Amino acid sequence: MWQGDCILIEDGSSAMLIDAGNPENGPDIVSYIKKLGINRLDFVIATHPHADHIGGMADVINAFDIGKLIMPKVEHTTRTFENLLLTIRNKGLKITAPVPGTEYRLGNTSFTILAPNSSSYKNLNDYSVVVRLTYGSTSFLFTGDAEQTSEKEILAKGYNIKSDVLKVGHHGSKTSTTTRFLDAVSPRYAVMCVGANNQYGHPAPETLSKLAERGIKVYRTDEAGTIIATSDGKSISFNKQPSPVNTSTNTGSTTVSDTKNNQNDTRDDITVYITKTGSKYHREGCSSLRTSSIPISLSEAKQRGYEPCKICKPPQ
């Protein structure tokens, strides 16, 4: 049921973590990173104080040597957040506020902070630290839960946001991934952190169809589990298969929807017959139609709950 963001970036002996899922994910995240032989995280970014992003962060901070910790300047009155602040203080760590336009190096990779661009927002999600990371000629955009307000500000600043991979904002909700933003990013691949059967209805069908229309390959954690993207500096490969494209929402492939409509039309053209009192529908001339015979389209008969007659076996 849970959903959360947790992104580990590795470049040789350098590593960075963006978010740490929910509180109950902390131990798993720590052991996953340790198994990779990583003891130090050069950068840790807590995009914003929601529990599905900073939940396991206290465990991470306790378990690893931490370089720079980047967090937006915003408070949140939850135990999870207060516990994180306490952990940071106990470890003697300093918090670095994200300053848009700042570039950092991580091994041969570099990343630039693109948001937040305002000091106060109505919506906690818009405080999300957004970073664009480049390695060779490949690029990745990580948006946390940034929503349309932040997307608009990023566009207004004129940053280069064109990226091969987009970590879709706010778990694919329709309040993020505005058309203008998506077209400016123009990704080939989209990764969504979504919980299976999450109570928020993420991702939104609107977001999925926007991605499908543009032929963007979508990788979802609810379907694929842990997704690993590997860049050789020229191209990017994934450890999992992309999500199958749902053609019913894919308005980009008009031929598919046209065929479907035609099929519906032909089904509608089929006329069957019902009687005044019966619960079955029939072919023309069926012996059951002696007392009454009312023409009706096949689709309407089915819609109204009529069943095919067992004697004349009409089309279904």
Where along the sequence are the contacts to Zn ion (CB under 5 A)? Answer: 50, 52, 125, 145
Q: How far is the CB of 11 from Zn ion (least distance, A)?
A: 25
Supply 130's token pair: 């957004």
Give the residue with the Cβ less far from Zn ion, 50 or 220: 50
Give the residue with the Cβ less far from Zn ion, 145 or 222: 145
Give the residue with the Cβ less far from Zn ion, 19 or 42: 19
Q: If you search the block for the tokens 């032989």, which residue do you land on?
A: 37
Nearest partner of 151 among 140, 139, 165, 141, judged by Cα: 141
Q: How far is the CB of 147 from Zn ion (least distance, A)?
A: 9
Q: How far is the CB of 1 from Zn ion (least distance, A)?
A: 14
Residue type for position 308: P
Partners of 189 in the β-ladder: 165, 217
Q: How far is the CB of 202 from Zn ion (least distance, A)?
A: 9
Give the residue with the Cβ less far from Zn ion, 29 or 298: 29
Residue type for position 147: E
- Which H helix or E strand runs over 135? strand 130-135
Q: How far is the CB of 129 from Zn ion (least distance, A)?
A: 12
Give the residue with the Cβ less far from Zn ion, 170 or 210: 170
What strands, in cross-sheet order, belong to the sheet with 7-11?
A: 7-11, 14-18, 40-45, 65-70, 95-96
User: What is d(CA 88, CA 50) in angstroms, rounded to the nearest whole number?
Assistant: 17
Give Cα separations from 160 to 95, 139, 157, 252, 316 (angstroms). 26, 11, 9, 26, 55
Work out the number of other CB atoms within 10 angstroms of the CB of residue 266.
Answer: 10
User: What is d(CA 193, CA 171) in angstroms, rounded to the nearest whole number?
Assistant: 5
Partners of 190 in the β-ladder: 166, 218
Q: How far is the CB of 125 from Zn ion (least distance, A)?
A: 4
Q: How far is the CB of 196 from Zn ion (least distance, A)?
A: 15
Give the residue with the Cβ less far from Zn ion, 146 or 212: 146
Query: HSE (CB half, 13 Å, CA atoms) of 210?
Result: 22
Give the residue with the Cβ less far from Zn ion, 59 or 126: 126
